[in-house]
Structures are given as structure tokens and as C-alpha cells.
């Protein structure tokens, strides 16, 4: 399925706002990646719009994200909150699926102390996930989806054929080698890069809950700095290094799939491809 451009997602958000009676809004782009993330100014509402997958598939994943967010809210875990006074979704408008969230003022991290606080907040999320009664997919589902994208020659139109072949071979090799590791699967956030944590006046809160899964603790620690990892006790350093390469492979695939959407996404695609080639 060809993905529409960001203008399509913005138009879908406008149409949804009108349908919900939200009044005159002006969508402000906060982020262009797998989702189009918009502030529905002047309201304190964020719309996350997804149009890269079939609507039913996207709605199922985004519905689980909302269920997780409500569970975290009830458990007092530090995560973004879905709207409660307006239906949060998932809302389907044409090819776009949208969920609605409370906007919070936030700033970039100010240093190592903020990153450490984000790691402490992640520990609270791990604890709250233990009480979630919904079904979470294994983290390897992400690997399977990436392999499918690499095998679809109509997907990832901006990647060179040699780079596609390299990523496919590297992902397959890393996936096969994973069988040699032993670990106890636990519920995870699933995508703990710095862009998914918001530093607010009340402390850090985590976002992008759609990636929640079950897997080794190290999968959530790969993207944290070494000092923050120490908060989680003993880790398998060999597994951590292996998962770091797997993480690079999956990030490279997802970013190449959406490379036309922003310079930030293209830069990430190129960075992780170069990292894997150096490795």
C-alpha cells in the first residue's frame, strides 16, 4: 500500500476535529515519522495519525496502545495520557487512523541527571506492565515485520538495492543467532529511544506505547546510556551487544520505509545502515 503524504494525515486530523465538534483548530506538526504527530492548536490535544498500514491493522495496534495508556494512568505510571473528555479513538478517516492525547509542555533533557530520571520512570513502567491484562506481542514480531518489508520490493522506495540486500542478510543472520541466547521474557516498553520520553515540570513521562511487547530486559536497555542501565541490575552484556545490532537493523528498516517523510527519518536510516556496515 502506497502511503499518503503528511498533508493527507493533516487533512484527516482536521476532518476528525470537525466531526468531534472541537471548533477551529490549526494542526502543528510535532513529528513526522511512522506516525504524523500533531498539536491541534490552540487546544491541549495531540493527534497521532497513522496511514502507512491498512486501517484495520493500524486501528488494532493503536487500540492496544490506548488500553495500555489507560492502564498506566490507573496505575500511576509516568506515561502520556489519552483524552477522556473527548473520545480518544482509534478514529478512522479514510486511510488514516488517529488517536487523541493530552498535550504536555516539555523540554529537552538537561543532562545525565534527566536521563537517569527517565530510566527510573521506565522501571515504574516495567512494574506497571506486570499488571496489564491485555495481550502483548513478542518483540520478535517487529523483526518479522521488518523482514517482510525488506522482501517487498515495492516498499522502501528510497533504499538502494545493494543496501536492501545487505539489511536483509544482516537481519536474517542476527535473528538466527538470537536462538543461541537464553533469557526470561518480560513485558517491555519496546522502543526506549530519547525521542519517546518527554521531560516535563513534574518529571519525565514516556510516550509511544504502541511498541509494548514481551522480550528480554536488554531490548529496552539498548538505547539507554550505560549509567542509566545500572539502575536495572545485572544485564547480559553479550546479549545487549547482539540486541543493539538487531535494534539498528529494525530502526534502519522502519526509517527507510518512511525516509521520504522528513530529514530526521532519512538521517536515522543512513546512520543505522552505516553502523551495521561498520560492525
Cβ neighbors of 213 (< 8 A, separation 6 or more) are 136, 137, 138, 139, 141, 142, 187, 188, 190, 219
Residue 1 has what pLDDT?
Answer: 54
With a cut of 90, say whether residue 53 has pLDDT above it: no
Q: What's 6-102's CATH class? A: alpha beta
Structure confidence by residue, pLDDT tens digits, 138-157: 999 999 999 999 999 989 99
Structure confidence by residue, pLDDT tens digits, 202-221: 999 999 999 999 999 999 99
Residue 232 has what pLDDT?
Answer: 95
Specify the CATH superfamily of domain 112-278: Aminoglycoside phosphotransferase (APH), C-terminal lobe (3.90.1200.10)
Confidence band (pLDDT; 50, 70, 90) for 279?
Answer: confident
Residue 274 has what pLDDT?
Answer: 96
The cell for 116 is: 537517569
Residue 194 has what pLDDT?
Answer: 87
Residue 256 has what pLDDT?
Answer: 96
Query: Hey, do 6-102 and 112-278 end up sharing a CATH topology, with the first three levels equal?
Result: no
In the chain, where the domains are located: 6-102, 112-278
With a cut of 70, say whether residue 24 has pLDDT above it: yes
Burial environment of residue 189 by CB neighbours within 10 A (0 to 12, 13 to 18, 19 or more) = buried
Residue 9 has what pLDDT?
Answer: 95
Cβ neighbors of 22 (< 8 A, separation 6 or more) are 40, 43, 45, 86
With a cut of 90, say whether residue 5 has pLDDT above it: no
Confidence (pTM):
0.92
On whether the CB atoms of residues 82 and 46 are closer than 8 A, the answer is no
Amino acid at each position: 500500500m502506497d502511503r499518503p503524504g503528511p498533508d493527507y494525515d493533516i487533512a484527516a486530523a482536521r476532518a476528525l476535529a470537525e466531526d468531534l465538534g472541537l471548533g477551529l483548530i490549526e494542526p502543528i506538526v510535532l513529528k513526522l515519522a511512522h506516525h504524523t504527530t500533531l498539536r491541534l492548536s490552540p487546544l491541549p490535544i495531540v493527534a497521532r495519525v497513522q496511514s502507512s498500514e491498512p486501517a484495520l491493522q493500524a486501528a488494532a495496534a493503536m487500540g492496544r496502545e490506548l488500553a495500555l495508556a489507560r492502564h498506566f494512568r490507573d496505575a500511576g505510571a509516568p506515561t502520556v495520557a489519552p483524552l477522556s473528555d473527548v473520545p480518544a479513538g482509534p478514529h478512522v478517516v479514510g486511510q488514516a487512523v488517529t488517536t487523541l492525547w493530552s498535550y504536555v509542555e516539555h523540554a529537552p533533557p538537561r543532562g545525565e541527571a534527566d536521563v537517569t530520571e527517565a530510566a527510573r520512570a521506565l522501571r515504574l513502567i516495567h512494574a506497571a506492565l506486570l499488571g496489564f491484562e491485555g495481550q502483548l506481542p513478542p518483540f520478535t514480531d517487529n523483526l518479522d515485520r521488518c523482514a517482510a518489508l525488506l522482501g517487498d520490493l515495492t516498499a522502501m522506495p528510497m533504499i538502494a538495492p545493494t543496501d536492501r540486500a545487505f539489511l536483509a542478510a544482516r537481519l536474517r543472520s542476527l535473528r538466527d543467532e538470537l536462538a543461541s541466547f537464553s533469557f526470561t521474557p518480560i513485558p517491555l516498553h519496546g522502543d526506549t529511544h530519547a525521542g519517546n520520553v518527554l521531560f516535563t515540570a513534574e518529571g519525565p513521562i514516556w510516550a509511544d506505547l504502541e511498541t509494548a511487547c514481551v522480550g528480554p530486559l536488554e531490548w529496552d536497555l539498548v538505547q539507554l546510556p550505560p549509567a542509566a542501565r545500572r539502575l536495572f541490575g545485572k544485564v547480559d552484556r553479550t546479549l545487549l551487544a547482539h540486541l543493539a545490532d538487531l535494534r539498528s537493523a529494525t530502526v534502519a528498516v522502519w526509517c527507510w520505509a518512511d525516509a521520504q517523510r522528513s530529514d530526521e527519518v532519512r538521517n536515522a536510516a543512513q546512520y543505522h545502515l552505516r553502523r551495521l556496515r561498520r560492525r
